[in-house]
Each structure stands twice: as structure tokens, then as C-alpha cells.
């Protein structure tokens, strides 16, 4: 995969119209996680040590199996004060935001206000150049819409500095995408593009008459009591105690850039949510247990397209297949300064959120991925570690990590 094919992000604008909180859906109680081996805490510590050794200021992981919480941290949240990173620190979750956006749209499907196989142009007349592009295509990255952030972040640091304080409209971002040819015919192939979740945000706001902020809060944040989860765009600050995020320089040896403060306007409904490890564990466990959508809509989310040998993509949801035969469900996230992995088991009985407060480093990103094995496979994961020199599959994530370190 080319470097430009994996760079990207997404955007939304805010309206301040109140909405009523949506009730949680009834769902089957999860089965006990007895069949899973105990998490390998020593293995997790070793992975986080490696993440920090490879350039991240700090790294942390939180595992929740319903009866016990396991917390592992290494390094610092702030390079200046040297405060140690904690699992309670807030951070920017990047593309994990996509699952939140998909949930809102699937709730609208449950309410009869949206059809997955209807053309996007039915709801947003004239927006897209092809009436064959459906809502399902958008949520599954099979629309063929070019990812405009390939161009925004061709140079990671200078590209970021050009937009860190900027505020975009949805239409501006869609127009950037439509300047370029589409990558494939609608439905023909999977091609990760943050433009899709710009369109998702536009659909949310058009169909509800409210901002995505209001819809996230009333449909997800408040019902699940996610007290450390926020959507503050276009504000630049992370409220409360948080880990600072550091963007690795494009030039080897140059100082990393403190990317903590930014509008994230280039990555709104696909990347602008702020959260904590506990809240993300709660969110994904509730999602797969049927607490946020009907069973039918959850089944739609879990209709997966294979991405590579270990990863498949549904509707705003990833599945990762691990060495021990367990599959986990969630999303990866990248936004300048932060990499996130947030996944749960099929029944929601064990959840992991892992964070590194660094980005633009493929070695940090791919090493952080190794937290999944000790979290869900336990000590059996030790027999399935990658051998030295074995090539890595590039993570299907945006903005990507062009710097090899």
C-alpha cells in the first residue's frame, strides 16, 4: 500500500440544538468470560515498555473483564512536567469516533428515518456525483470517495501546522475530496477514506436537525454515563486531566511537536471525540451487547469485509482475528499526537483500550497493536509473537505513520 493511500481524516460542524436522551436498548446479559485465559499482565507490560522504547513518551492499557480491571502504564503524559501517564487520563481517540457516528446513524435506521441501502443523495440532494453511493457504502468505506487528507497530510508536520487552528465546514471537506477521481465504483471495493465519515456527519445533522455533538451526547454519552467523553469542536483544549500528544517529526532526529491543542476540524465526526480508557471499554462492551441499537442493526454493523489477514471492516466497526482464535471488535484511532486501540470480545465480557501519546511513527503504531494478544489471548500469545525481521502489515489507519523508526 502506498504512503498516500493511508493518509487521512474527517470533519463536522456544530449546531447547538438540544435533543432528548435516547433510552438504552434492552440486550442479552453477557456470558461469563471464563473461557478466556487470564490477561497476561507481564506480557502487557513488555509491550508497553517496547512502545516507549520506540519513541512514545507514554503508553497505557486498561483491561476490563467485568469482574476485575487490569491497569498497566509506562512513561509520561507530559514531557515537560514528567507527570506519569495514567489510565484515567483523557485523550483524543481519533478514528474510534467513527463507531460513535455509525451508531447514531444506525439508531436513525431503527427509528425509520434512514435506509442503509438508499442513496446518500436522497437525504443530501446533489452532494455526491454518483447516485449509486449508498449510506451502507459510506459506513463500510466502499463508496470510492477519495480521502482528501491524502493531500492535507502529505507532509505530516507542516500539514498539521497548516490546519491545527483552522475550522472547516463539511462542504469544504467534501469539495476537497471531489477534486480527485474516485478510487473505485460504488460497492466495488473497500478503500478506507475519511471522506465517508464527513458524509456520515452531514447525514446526522440533516436528519436530526441537531449537531453531531448533541446527538453523541444524548444518544450515547449520557445514556452510558460516559462522564469523561466529550466532543468540543471547534474548541482546541482537552478539558480536565489529560495526556499530552506528540507528533513525531518528519525528519529523523528533529524534535517531536506538541499537538495536544488543535481544533481537530479536519477530523470531526471521524476523529474529534475525547475520551478515557474506561469510557471506551464501557462503550464497546455496551455496543456489542445490544445496548445501543437493535439486534438487526448490530448484525448489519458486523457484516464484515476482509481488509488484510487479521482485520475486517463492517459499518464503522473493525474485527481483529487474534492468534488464539478469538476475534475482537472495536476500532483503531489516530489523530496527531495519539494512537488508540479499543476492542472488546463478541459478548462484551472483556474489553481493552490501549493508548500511546505519539503519532506519525509506524513502529509505535504497530507495536501498540501487540497489546491485543496479552489482553485477550493471555500467556498463549507468547508463542505467537512476530519473529525478528517478519514484515508488518501496515495498519489500516489514518492519518498514517509514514516515518519508519
CA atoms of 63 and 61, how far apart (whole Å): 7
- Cα–Cα distance measured from residue 396 to residue 379, given in angstroms and rounded to the nearest whole number: 27
Cβ atoms within 10 Å of 249's Cβ, excluding its own: 16
Q: Quick one: which of 341, 404, 332, 359 has its CA closest to 156?
A: 359
The answer to whether residue 95 is catalytic is yes
- Annotate 5-32 with b (16+ C-beta within 10 A) or e (fewer): bbbbbbbbbbeeeeeeebeebebeebee
User: Strand, helix or coil at 92?
Assistant: strand
- For residue 53, give Cα distances in angstroms to 44, 57, 74, 205, 364: 14, 9, 10, 43, 9
- Give the orientation angle of helix 195-208 with respect to helix 170-178, to 10 degrees: 140
Q: How far apart are the first and last CA of the chain?
A: 18
Grid cell locating 177: 475530496
Catalytic residue from among 95, 177, 269, 351: 95
Query: CA angle, 375 as apex, 369 and 379 as ends, to 5°?
Result: 110
Retrieve residue 344's grid coordinates.
472488546
Show the cell assigned to 211.
Answer: 449537531
* Residue 257 φ/ψ, nearest 5 degrees: -100, 130
Q: How far apart are CA 356 and CA 344, in angstroms?
A: 19
| Integer angstrom CA distances of residue 200 from 60, 140, 204 | 31, 11, 6
DSSP element (H, E) containing 334: strand 327-335
- Catalytic positions are 95
Amino acid at each position: 500500500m502506498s504512503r498516500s493511500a493511508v493518509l487521512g481524516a474527517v470533519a463536522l460542524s456544530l449546531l447547538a440544538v438540544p435533543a432528548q436522551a435516547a433510552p438504552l436498548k434492552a440486550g442479552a446479559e453477557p456470558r461469563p468470560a471464563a473461557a478466556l485465559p487470564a490477561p497476561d499482565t507481564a506480557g502487557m507490560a513488555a509491550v508497553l515498555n517496547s512502545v516507549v522504547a520506540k519513541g512514545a513518551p507514554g503508553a497505557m492499557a486498561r483491561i476490563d473483564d467485568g469482574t476485575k480491571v487490569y491497569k498497566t502504564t509506562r512513561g509520561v503524559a507530559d514531557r515537560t512536567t514528567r507527570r506519569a501517564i495514567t489510565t484515567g487520563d483523557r485523550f483524543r481517540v481519533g478514528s474510534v469516533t467513527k463507531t460513535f457516528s455509525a451508531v447514531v446513524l444506525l439508531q436513525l435506521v431503527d427509528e425509520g428515518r434512514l435506509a442503509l441501502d438508499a442513496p446518500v443523495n436522497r437525504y443530501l440532494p446533489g452532494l455526491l456525483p454518483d447516485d449509486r453511493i449508498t449510506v451502507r457504502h459510506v459506513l463500510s468505506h466502499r463508496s470510492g470517495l477519495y480521502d482528501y487528507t491524502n493531500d492535507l497530510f502529505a507532509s505530516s508536520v507542516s500539514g498539521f501546522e497548516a490546519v491545527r487552528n483552522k475550522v472547516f465546514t463539511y462542504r469544504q471537506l467534501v469539495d476537497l475530496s471531489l477534486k480527485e477521481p474516485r478510487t473505485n465504483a460504488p460497492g466495488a471495493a473497500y478503500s478506507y477514506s475519511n471522506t465517508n465519515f464527513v458524509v456520515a456527519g452531514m447525514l446526522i445533522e440533516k436528519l436530526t436537525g441537531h449537531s453531531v455533538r448533541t446527538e453523541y451526547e444524548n444518544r450515547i454519552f449520557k445514556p452510558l454515563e460516559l462522564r469523561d467523553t466529550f466532543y468540543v469542536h471547534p474548541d482546541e483544549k482537552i478539558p480536565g486531566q489529560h495526556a499530552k500528544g506528540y507528533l513525531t517529526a518528519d525528519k529523523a532526529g528533529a524534535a517531536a511537536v506538541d499537538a495536544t491543542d488543535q481544533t481537530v476540524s479536519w477530523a470531526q465526526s471521524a476523529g474529534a471525540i475525547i475520551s478515557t480508557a474506561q469510557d471506551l471499554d464501557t462503550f464497546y462492551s455496551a455496543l456489542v451487547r445490544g445496548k445501543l441499537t437493535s439486534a438487526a442493526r448490530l448484525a448489519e454493523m458486523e457484516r464484515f469485509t476482509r481488509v488484510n489477514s487479521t482485520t475486517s471492516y463492517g459499518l464503522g466497526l473493525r474485527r481483529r482475528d487474534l492468534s488464539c482464535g478469538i476475534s475482537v471488535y472495536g476500532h483503531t484511532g489516530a489523530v496527531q499526537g495519539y494512537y488508540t486501540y479499543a476492542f472488546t470480545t463478541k459478548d462484551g465480557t472483556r474489553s481493552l483500550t490501549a493508548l500511546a501519546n505519539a503519532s506519525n511513527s509506524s513502529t509505535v503504531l504497530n507495536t501498540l497493536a501487540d497489546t491485543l494478544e496479552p489482553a485477550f489471548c493471555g500467556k498463549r500469545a507468547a508463542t505467537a509473537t512476530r519473529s525478528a525481521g517478519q514484515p508488518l502489515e501496515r495498519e489500516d489507519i489514518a492519518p498514517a505513520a509514514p516515518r519508519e523508526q
